[in-house]
Each structure stands twice: as C-alpha cells, then as structure tokens.
C-alpha cells in the first residue's frame, strides 16, 4: 500500500508537465495507470489534450477516463510522455518492459519532446540489473536469441502468461526476461542487443528520460538529465 501511495504521488507530480493542447504519450503499468486516471480528472475539469497510448491496456484505461486519443499516423511528435520504470540509475538510464509494452513505449518515448518518468522509491538503484531486462523477440528466432544472450552471461527465461502459455505482446512477439545481475555498461549492452538479429527491442532506455520523479512517502524528488 505504501508503494501504491508513492506511485500515485509521483503521478500527481507529473501533471505539471502537461499543458492545454498537448499531445501526450500515455505509459503502461501500475504507476502510469495512476497518471492516466489523474489526467482524466483534469480533462473532465476542462484540460484539452490528446493522448497516444503505449498499449491496448492503456488505451482502454484512457478511454474510460475520458481522454481523447490520437495516433502516430496523425502526430509524429509528442509534447510529453508520462511513463513508469522498473529501475533507473544515476545517469537516468532505465530498465522498462515489466508490463510487456517496451516496444511501443520506446517508440513513443523517441517521438516525445519530454519523457517524464514517475516511480516509487524502490525503483532507484545505483546500478541497473536488479530487475530482469525484458527483451522482445520474434518467436521464430527465440531459441537462437536466448542462446546468444545467455552467452553474454545472463540467465534467460521466456515470459509466460498466467495460463502457462508464452506471453504475447501487443505486436505479437515473445519476451525473454534476462537476469544479468549488475549491468556495469548499459549503453554497451544496449548496442550489443540492438545489433542482434531476432531481437525486436530491448528494455534498456539509454539517455531518453528528461526527468525522473520519485516519491518517498509524500516527498517528491526530481532528477534531471545532466
């Protein structure tokens, strides 16, 4: 419950980055869901925005909250995206993808003038890697990619749904959760994974966050990209 309170507090703090008329990227996950709900309250109070959701789940939440939606077909640049994270380090590098939406999240982040990351205090780490790194893969290449990632020193597990079947992303791919331990060179690992055939996207977000807002109790700390 304490973590949920912190998630909501950081989400509320992020609303000041959203202005009337903005095109807003809507993140995926439990923390981002608070932001969607709170934005919906602002919309009902008169705020005029259009959102681009990063998953089918977020799309459902946004519509229920009364947020008008648009697409990348209409707008190739967003004013701001609000999203959560599984971890962030002192350089504001992120691990994302615990909710399974890393591909769309990274696309939307790359098209945003500002990426505002919201989190509870548990997500701050000195070195990335406590959380497994999600890697989205084409099913055809899954075994090959898993073997190559394991050769880099990771323990690799295919993500499963509650019914025991492979987790399927919104784009129809599988996810490998890769336990590297401490990732001492996130940019270097990101490059290696990006160059590996069969990988659609990985959950290392390097140099993309504009600001990270974390809540510790009711106190908000703000970390900005240097």
Catalytic residues: 105
Taking alpha carbons only, the member of 27, 161, 35, 168 closest to residue 107 is: 27
What does the block give as tokens for 11? Answer: 């989400």
CA separation for the pair 35, 6 (Å, rounded)? 12
Name the β-bridge partners of 86. Answer: none
What does the block give as tokens for 149? Answer: 């990632």
* Residues in CB range of 147: below 8 A, 6 or more apart: none
The per-residue b/e assignment along 94-124, b for 16 or more CB within 10 angstroms, e otherwise, is bbbbbbbbbbbbbebbebbebbbbbbbeebb
Cβ atoms of 125 and 89 closer than 8 Å: yes
Query: Is residue 144 helix, strand or coil?
Result: helix
Q: What are phi and psi of 19, to 5 degrees?
A: -115, 160
Sign of CA dihedral 179, 95, 224, 2: negative
What does the block give as tokens for 49? Answer: 């925005």
């Amino acid at each position: 419950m304490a973590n949920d309170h912190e998630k909501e507090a950081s989400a509320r703090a992020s609303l000041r980055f959203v202005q009337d008329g903005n095109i807003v990227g809507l993140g995926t996950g439990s923390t981002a869901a608070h932001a969607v709900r709170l934005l919906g309250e602002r919309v009902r109070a008169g705020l005029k925005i259009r959102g681009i959701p990063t998953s089918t789940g977020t799309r459902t939440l946004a519509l229920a909250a009364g947020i008008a939606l648009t697409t990348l077909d209409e707008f190739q640049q967003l004013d701001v995206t609000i999203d959560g994270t599984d971890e962030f380090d002192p350089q504001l590098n992120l691990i994302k993808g615990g909710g399974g939406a890393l591909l769309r999240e990274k696309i939307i982040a790359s098209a945003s003038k500002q990426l505002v990351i919201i989190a509870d205090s548990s997500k701050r780490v000195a070195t990335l890697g406590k959380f497994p790194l999600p890697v989205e893969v084409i099913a055809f290449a899954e075994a090959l990619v898993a073997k190559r990632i394991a050769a880099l020193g990771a323990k690799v597990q295919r993500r499963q749904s509650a019914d025991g079947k492979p987790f399927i992303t919104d784009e129809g791919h599988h996810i490998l959760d890769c336990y590297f331990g401490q990732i001492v060179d996130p940019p270097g690992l990101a490059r290696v994974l990006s160059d590996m055939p069969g990988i659609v996207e990985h959950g290392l977000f390097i140099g993309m966050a504009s600001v990270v807002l974390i809540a510790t109790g009711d106190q908000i700390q703000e970390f900005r990209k240097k």
